[in-house]
Amino acid sequence: MNLDNLYSELTLKTSAKIALVVLDGVGDIAIKENGEMTPLEAARTPNLDALVAQGVAQGRMIPVAPGITPGSGPGHLGLFGYDPLEFQVGRGVIEALGLGLELKPGDIAARANFCTLDKAGVITDRRAGRIATEVCQELCGKLTKKIKKVGDVEVIIKAGKEHRFVVIFRGKGLEGPLTATDPNREGLKLLEARPENPKSAGQKKAAKAVAEFVKAALPVLASHSKANGFLMRGIAHQPEIPLFQDRYLLKPACLAVYPMYKGLAQLVGMTKIEGPTTIAQQFERYLAEYANYDFFFIHFKYTDKYGEDGNFEAKRKAIEEFDAALPILLQKKPDVLAITGDHSTPCPMKGHSWHPQPVLIHSAFSGSDKLDRFTETGANLGSLGVFEAKFLIRYLQANARMFDKFGA
C-alpha cells in the first residue's frame, strides 16, 4: 500500500492544536575556533531549557537525502510532509506567491537577487552587501520603467526584502524549468539560463526571454556601486500540489515575515497572516489567532541569515532573541509543539549544508529524553533518532492522537 494512502486512511479529525516553529538554518557544526560549540550550544536559552525540562523528545532530521544540501524550498516542503524529491518547486514561484503576485497558467517566475560585479563581470558579492529594501524597490522601479517586454513576452518585476526580487515572464508558449544564472559562489561570471530539457521549444523560448532581459537590464544597473548586477534561479512554472488541509485534516496558518516562506505556505494552501515583523509579534498574533486554526507554521529567519554571513555571535544572539520571546507562545501552549530548522546553515560554511538539523517535539505523549538542553549534541541522543524531515508532520499528528490503530 502507498504510505501516504495509509496515513490518510488512519487519519482522524481531532480538536488538537499543533505548532511548527522553524528557526531557519539553526543547525550548525562545532569547530575549535568557536570553542567546539555551536551557536545553539553557546546561546543562553533559559526558556527552551525549561521546556526541555518539562519533557520533550529530540532527534535529528535529514532534510532531503543523506549528503544532499537543500534550498529553503525543499527544506520547508519536507517539514510540511511533502517529499522534496517528488514535489519540486522553483524558488521563483515561491517568492512570487509570497509577494502576493498571481501566477497565470504558463507564467515563468524567477527568484532574483542583486549582486556586485567587477569591471570584468565577475561576481564579487552575491548579495550586493545586503542593500536596504528601499534601495531594492528603487532599482526594481527603474527596471520596470525601462523593460516592459522582451520580444512578445511581458516582464513583471516586484521587489522583495533587502537584495531580493522576483521577475515573471508572461507569454504564449513558455515553459520551465531553466537552469540558474547564479553560479552559487563569488569569483565567477554570470551563467546563461538554459533549458533543462533541450528538446522543449517552450523552455528554449523562455531561455531566450531571460537572456534578452539580462542583456537589457544590466546597463540600467551599471552605475550603481553595489547592486550593478543580479542573479536568477528557480526559473520555473507553478506545479500542482495537494492542499495541506486535505492531506492532514488540519486548518493551517502561516506566520512568516519574509516573502519566500509566505509563498511556500501559500503553495500548500496555508492562510498567510500578515502584519507581524518580529518573532515576539508573531507569537502575539499566534495567541490572537489560536482559536481560528489547527496548525501554525511560525518562521524565524535570522538564524539562517547570520549563518550565511558566517557570524557566530550574531547567530547566537538571534537564538537568544527567539528564546526571550518564547514565553509569549507558551501562554497558550499548543497540544503539540515542534521546534526545529528547515536545514543547517553552519557558520564555518557560510551557507546551507547537508548536516541533519536538530528537532524537538513536546506534547502530553512525547515522553522525555531526560536531556538538559536543546542542542545538536543532545539531539544526537534523543529518542527520535535520525529520520527524514518528510515524516515530522506524521510524528506531530501521532502526538496529537490523530491516527487510528493500524491492523487488528
Over residues 340-345, mean pLDDT: 98
Reported confidence tier of residue 237, pLDDT bands at 50, 70, 90:
confident
Amino acid at 66: P
For the stretch 305-326, pLDDT in tens is: 999 999 999 999 999 999 999 9
Mean pLDDT of the region 98-114: 88
| pLDDT attached to residue 299 | 98
What is the pLDDT confidence band of residue 20, given thresholds at 50, 70 and 90? very high
The yes-or-no verdict on residue 47 having pLDDT over 80 is yes
Among candidate residues 340, 326, 330, the one with its CA nearest the CA of residue 386? 340
Q: pLDDT-derived band of residue 2, with 50, 70 and 90 as boundaries?
A: confident
Fold of 3-87+242-399: Alkaline Phosphatase, subunit A (3.40.720)
Q: Is the pLDDT of residue 1 over 80?
A: no
Q: Does residue 188 or residue 176 have the better pLDDT?
A: 188
CA distance 329 to 19: 10
Q: Which residues contact 74 (CB under 8 A, 6 or more apart)?
A: 63, 64, 84, 88
For residue 31, the model assigns a pLDDT of 93
Rounded mean pLDDT of 139-151?
94
User: Are 99 and 158 spatial neighbours (Cβ–Cβ below 8 Å)?
Assistant: yes
Do 63 and 343 touch, CB atoms closer than 8 A?
yes
Q: How confident is the model at residue 131 (pLDDT cuts 50, 70, 90)?
A: very high
Tell me the three cell numbers of residue 339.
521546534
pLDDT band at residue 99 under the 50/70/90 scheme = confident
Question: What confidence score (pLDDT) does residue 239 get?
Answer: 80
Q: Report percent pLDDT > 70 for the chain.
A: 100
| CB contact set of 221 (below 8 Å; sequence gap of 6+) | 114, 139, 142, 143, 227, 228, 229, 230
Residue 100 is predicted with a pLDDT of 81
Give pLDDT, residue 94: 81
Instruction: Write down the H helix ranges in 222-278.
Output: 244-248, 259-267
Q: How far apart are CA 388 and CA 309, in angstroms?
A: 27
pLDDT tens digit sequence for 260-306: 899 889 889 999 999 999 999 999 999 999 999 999 999 999 999 99
- What is the mean predicted confidence (pLDDT) over 327-343? 98
Residue-level pLDDT at 386 = 98
Domain boundaries, the chain: 3-87+242-399, 94-236
- Helices vs strands, H then E, count in the chain: 14, 14
**Grid cell digits, residue 402:** 490523530
